[in-house]
């Protein structure tokens, strides 16, 4: 917060600064449900070929990047310091941002899209209802997102700034000898999506993990419609080829094997 001295008198902070001060004072409250560490992140790494990592800031937002024989793909784009982190982790698999051909977004909350400028030459895939939210033509329904936007402004691209390729239904994207399978799973946000790639089911924030409860569906505080989230998760697990799923990872680096107990917990 900037306080300006003018003519030797201390002036009151402006409205934006006040909003920022209020937000920062209630910020820890929003962090409580999202705190904690990563789970089984080592299990989805492929040295030299694929890397999963978290960006800075308290949310531990995850970015996953994988080299294929037809370019590099990225799932989600992280939060604080994401651009710098993405560049350095791409180097670890022998890639640079210009090699990224396709970005798959689970949703457009600000803590999962921060590095979009770093890979702005890529095709950006997301489920159709999320497009106006990413491009700022609609606002997210959840209170923390609205507060953050009113205080810090929006962070996503403007219409036309990236090559958006919204999909309208379950879709399989062939990337060289790999396939990314995309599944709409609305509820956390209107256009939330899950992606299955090399045995990892990326579910974004459709699944949350809290310190005491463990895994569950999307966190109601940050979600548009928790009831819809549970229903669409039931549908997701009914149509994903589960024999191919080794790990289910949310967008905050919490991965679990898809046991019956896990599926029961996240869909109830
Ligand atoms: Zn989210």
Q: Quote the CA–CA distance of 82 and 164 in Å, as a whole number.
A: 20
Ligand 1 centroid vs 154 CA: distance in angstroms? 15
Sequential pLDDT tens for the chain (268 residues): 343 434 334 445 566 565 555 555 545 445 544 556 899 999 999 999 999 999 987 779 999 999 999 999 999 999 999 999 999 999 999 999 999 999 999 999 999 999 999 999 999 999 999 999 999 999 999 999 999 999 999 999 999 999 999 999 999 999 999 999 999 999 999 999 999 999 999 999 999 999 889 999 999 999 999 999 999 999 999 999 999 999 999 999 999 999 999 999 999 9
**Could you tell me the distance, in angstroms and rounded to a whole number, from the CA of residue 1 to the centre of ligand 1?**
27
Rounded to a whole number, what is the distance in angstroms from the first to the last CA of the chain?
Answer: 43
Instruction: Tell me the C-alpha distance between 75 and 37, whole Å.
Output: 20
Give the distance (Å) from ligand 1 centre to CA of residue 13. Answer: 31
Q: Are 171 and 155 in contact (CB under 8 A)?
A: no
Distance between Cα 186 and ligand 1 center (Å): 11
Please report the domains of the chain, with CATH numbers, ordered by start residue: 13-22+34-267 (3.60.15.10)
How many Å lie between the centroid of ligand 1 and the Cα of residue 11? Answer: 37
Q: Which helix (H) or strand (E) holds 195?
A: strand 193-197
What does the alpha-carbon distance between residue 93 and residue 233 come to, in Å, rounded to a whole number?
A: 32
pLDDT of residue 261: 97
DSSP code of residue 241: -
Q: Each residue of 187-198: b (16+ CB within 10 Å) or e?
A: bbbbbbbbbbbb
Q: Give CA–CA dist 6/8, Å, rounded.
A: 5
Angle between helices 15-31 and 143-152 (to 10 degrees): 140
Distance 90 CA to ligand 1 centre (A): 24
Centre of ligand 1 to C-alpha 126, Å, is 14
| Ligand 1 mean position, distance from CA 31 (Å) | 13
DSSP code at position 13: P
Residue 40 CA to ligand 1 centre (angstroms): 20
Tokens encoding 67:
């080299």
- H or E segment to which residue 175 belongs: strand 171-175
Distance between Cα 113 and ligand 1 center (Å): 10
Task: Tell me the H-state helices in the chain.
Answer: 15-31, 82-92, 131-134, 143-152, 226-239, 260-267
C-alpha 213/C-alpha 33 separation (Å) is 10
109 Cα–ligand 1 center, Å = 5
Q: How many CA atoms lie within 13 A of 178 on its CB side?
A: 19
pLDDT of residue 7: 38
The rounded Å distance from CA 203 to ligand 1 centre is 10
Distance 205 CA to ligand 1 centre (A): 5
- Expressed in angstroms and rounded, the spacing between residue 206 Cα and the centre of ligand 1 is 8
| 54 CA → ligand 1 middle, Å | 15
Distance separating alpha carbons of residues 258 and 250, to the nearest angstrom: 12
The alpha carbon of 222 and the centre of ligand 1 are apart by a number of angstroms equal to 6
Alpha helices by DSSP H, listed for 93-245, are 131-134, 143-152, 226-239
- Distance (Å, whole) CA 178 – CA 163: 21
- List the structure tokens of 63: 């970015």
Query: Distance, CA 46 to ligand 1 centroid (Å)?
Result: 26
| 108: nearest Cα among 90, 79, 130 | 130
Q: Residues 265, 215: contact at Cβ < 8 Å?
A: yes
Amino acid 15: pLDDT: 61
pTM, two decimals, is 0.88
């Amino acid at each position: 917060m900037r306080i300006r001295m003018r003519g030797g008198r201390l002036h009151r902070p402006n409205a934006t600064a006040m909003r920022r001060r209020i937000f920062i004072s209630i910020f820890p409250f929003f962090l409580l449900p999202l705190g904690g560490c990563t789970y089984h992140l080592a299990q989805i790494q492929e040295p030299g070929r694929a890397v999963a990592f978290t960006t800075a800031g308290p949310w531990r937002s995850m970015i996953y990047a994988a080299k294929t024989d037809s370019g590099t793909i990225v799932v989600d784009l992280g939060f604080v310091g994401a651009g710098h982190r993405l560049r350095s982790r791409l180097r670890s698999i022998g890639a640079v941002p210009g090699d990224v051909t396709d970005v798959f977004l689970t949703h457009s909350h600000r803590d999962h899209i921060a590095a979009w400028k770093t890979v702005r030459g890529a095709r950006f895939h997301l489920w159709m209802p999320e497009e106006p939210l990413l491009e700022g033509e609609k606002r997210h329904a959840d209170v923390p997102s609205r507060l953050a936007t009113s205080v810090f402004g929006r962070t996503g691209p403007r219409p036309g700034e990236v090559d958006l390729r919204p999909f309208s239904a379950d879709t399989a994207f062939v990337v060289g000898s790999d396939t990314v399978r995309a599944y709409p799973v609305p509820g956390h946000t209107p256009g939330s999506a899950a992606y299955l790639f090399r045995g990892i089911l990326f579910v974004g924030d459709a699944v949350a993990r809290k310190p005491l409860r463990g895994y569950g569906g999307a966190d109601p505080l940050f979600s548009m419609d928790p009831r819809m989230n549970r229903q669409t998760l039931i549908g997701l697990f009914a149509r994903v080829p589960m024999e191919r799923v080794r790990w289910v990872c949310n967008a905050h680096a919490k991965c679990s094997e898809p046991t019956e107990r896990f599926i029961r917990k996240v869909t109830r």
